[in-house]
Structures are given as C-alpha cells and as structure tokens.
Amino acid sequence: MTDPKLNYVPCPDAAGGHRMAWWSWGDERAPHVVVCVHGLSRQGRDFDTLARSLVEASPAPLRVACPDVVGRGRSDWLADPMGYAVPTYVADMLQLLAQLHAAAPVTTFDWVGTSMGGLIGMGLAGTPRLPLPAPLRRLVLNDVGPVIQWAALQRIGSYLGQTGRFETVQQAADAMWAISSSFGAHTREQWLALSRPMVRPLPEGGWTLHYDPAIAVPFRALDEAAAAAGQAALWQLYDAIVARTLLLRGAESDLLSRATAEDMVRRGPRPQLVEFAGVGHAPTLIAQEQVEAVASFLFATDSASDEKPDSGAG
C-alpha cells in the first residue's frame, strides 16, 4: 500500500458536532490496531513512513489509523476555539476507536503519540473506565511528558496561528523548515513529502497552512503559572498508566528535558527510554533508526519487550 484511505468519524460538540478525518493503512479488519496521533500544528499524514513500515513489518495483519486532530488537515474546524484542548481530543479519539471497533473487533490496541498526540495518549491511558474497545497494550510517547518546558511553549507560540500565504508548495516547505529544523536531518525529498499535506489551496490561488489559525487562541491564553499548575494533573495521568511504554526523546529537545525524561523512567509505567542524537523537538519517525525503535517495541514478544532496547542512537 502506497497511499492511505481517507475516512471521517462524526464527533459531538456543543455547536452540533464536527467531523474528524483519519487516514487508514493496512488491513481494515485486522484485530490489531495502532493509532498514531500528531503534534500541535501537524496532521495525520506525518505518519506515512511509519504507518507503511509498520504494516510491512507486522508479523500479523495490522490496522493503522492516523487521525487529523480537529482543526487540522481534512478535519472540520470548531465553532468555539476554546474547544481546541486535550479533553476534546480525547473524546474525539473515543469516537474513532468506537468506529474502528464497529467495523471489525479490536483485540489489540496500541498508541503512538508525538508531542500533543502523546498528551492525548496519556489522557486515554491514564483515565480509568474509559470505553476503550480493548485495554491499551503499548504506548509510545514521542518527545513529550508531564513537564513541558516553558521556553519551548514560547517558541511554538511565536509562530502558531500564522498560516500565511505561499505561491508554491516548495515555498511553504521552505518556510516550515525555517521553524522546524529541530526535527533533525531530512533530505529535500523527505521534507517536501512531509510538507505537501501541511498546506491547502486558497480560492484566490496560492497555498496556506492546513490548520485553523484559532488553534492558537487557547494556547496563547496559557501563562507560565497555569502551565506549571497543569503539571500535577499530567503527572497524575502519567502515574496511572499501566500500558507498557516507550519514551522517545530528541537528545536536543527543548520541550522534554533530560531531567523530566529521567523522572518518567523512575515512575508511572517506567518506560524504556531511547534518545536520538542530532534531533530536537520532535523526532519525525521517518529516519530508519526511529522507525525501527517503534516497530521493535510494538512487535516484540512480551518477554523481549521487558528488555531495554538499544539506545545507542542518542
């Protein structure tokens, strides 16, 4: 399979509901489902390389679902921008999981979350009695944890919501690289492939970024005190996680500090930690060593996955 299939799931909200788009890879009836969720201003096609690789490497039939979180990609935009928050996203993911389970029973459920997608995964994994189709078996947190460095939030806030106008996709790709070089080394072809789904055409011609600029509204309402206060709630979610967990970190990340990663290894699900040299926030899960780290974790036998993977990459 070279391209994913676009699907939609209806999600309730106070304004009458919205649709969340999601991209499917692999066997649509496979009982093993991996959900991959992107970062704050990204979209589900970020996982094309990873999803394709997982489907090819899986020892058994596999379904991979890569949603465009509401307000991004092909999903609807919310009438109330204050709805752009993790509780909304968790509720939407429950709708997606219910749709997946109705299409074909889900017996094995794994999650890969980059940055915001990891926070959504923590919300699902750390909240008891949610109507999941199957218990969350394995969780990959990609460069995110309960403590998010304030300087990184300020950096992201400096460009979030500025969707711009570009004459060509290449021009948009170049502009995104200027604020995304922390993702680590990519070939020109890799970056262009990542960038194409990040833009949408404008009626008057040209291109703009794919997301609702209003996702920046609740983000900019956050101050340092509120961010610090939210850490206690995030640690509570994290400490309640029982799924086997893999923590990925860009060795140069400004969002997930080394100290926070070490604290995470000592508590909660006590994850395996793998760091990638030459990468900041966040690993794109395109480089072979990054893909292999995720695949080996998800497909390891229970006994093998108890062992810490080789973290010599970072």
Task: Please identify which residue in the block is written with the tokens 């400096």.
Answer: 158
pLDDT in tens, 233-285: 999 999 999 999 999 999 999 999 999 999 999 999 999 999 999 999 999 99
Instruction: Estimate to the nearest angstrom the gap between the alpha carbon of 159 and the chain centroid.
Output: 19
Q: What is the pLDDT of residue 306?
A: 45
What percent of the chain clears pLDDT 90, i.e. is strictly above it? 87
- Would you say the pTM of this structure is higher than 0.85? yes
CA 9, CA 21: separation in Å to the nearest integer? 7
Whole-number pLDDT of residue 85: 95
* pLDDT > 70? residue 180: yes
Instruction: Using alpha carbons, list the distances in angstroms from residue 255 to 40, 150, 279.
Output: 13, 8, 12
pLDDT in tens, 98-145: 999 999 999 999 999 999 999 999 999 999 999 999 999 999 999 999
Assigned domain for 101 exists = yes
Q: Which residues pair with 273 in a beta bridge?
A: 247
Residue 146: which CATH number? 3.40.50.1820
Residue showing tokens 């070490």:
262
**Residue 312 above 80 pLDDT?**
no
**Residue 310, pLDDT score:** 41
Torsion of CA 56, 311, 146, 101, to 10 degrees: 20
In a domain, 158, yes or no: no
Q: Domain count of the chain?
A: 1
Place of tokens 């489907």: 55
d(CA 210, CA 41): 9
Predicted pLDDT at 1: 54
C-beta separation of 5 from 24 below 8 A:
yes
Helix spans in 181-223 (H): 188-195, 216-220
Residue 312, in any domain of the structure: no
Residue 277 domain-assigned (yes or no): yes
Provide the CA 37 distance to its chain's centre, in angstroms.
3
Segment 50-90, tens digit of pLDDT: 999 999 999 999 999 999 999 999 999 999 999 999 999 99
Nearest to 121 by CA among 37, 40, 183: 37
Indicate whether 176 belongs to any domain. Answer: no
Task: Tell me if 272 sits within 8 A of 247, measured CB to CB.
Answer: yes
* Cα–Cα distance, 37 to 71 (Å, whole number): 14
- 250 occurs within a structural domain: yes
Determine contact, residues 169/207, Cβ cutoff 8 Å.
Answer: yes
| In-domain check, residue 146 | yes
Distance of CA 141 to the CA centre of its chain: 8
pLDDT computed for residue 307 by the predictor: 43
Q: Is residue 164 part of a domain?
A: no
Q: How confident is the model at residue 223 (pLDDT cuts 50, 70, 90)?
A: confident
Q: Taking 70 as the threshold, does the pLDDT of residue 231 lie above it?
A: yes
Determine the pLDDT at residue 311.
40
- For residue 313, the model assigns a pLDDT of 40
pLDDT of residue 308: 42
- CB contact at 8 A, 29 and 113: no
Residue 303 pLDDT exceeds 70: no
Domain assignment of residue 72, given as a range: 5-153+231-305
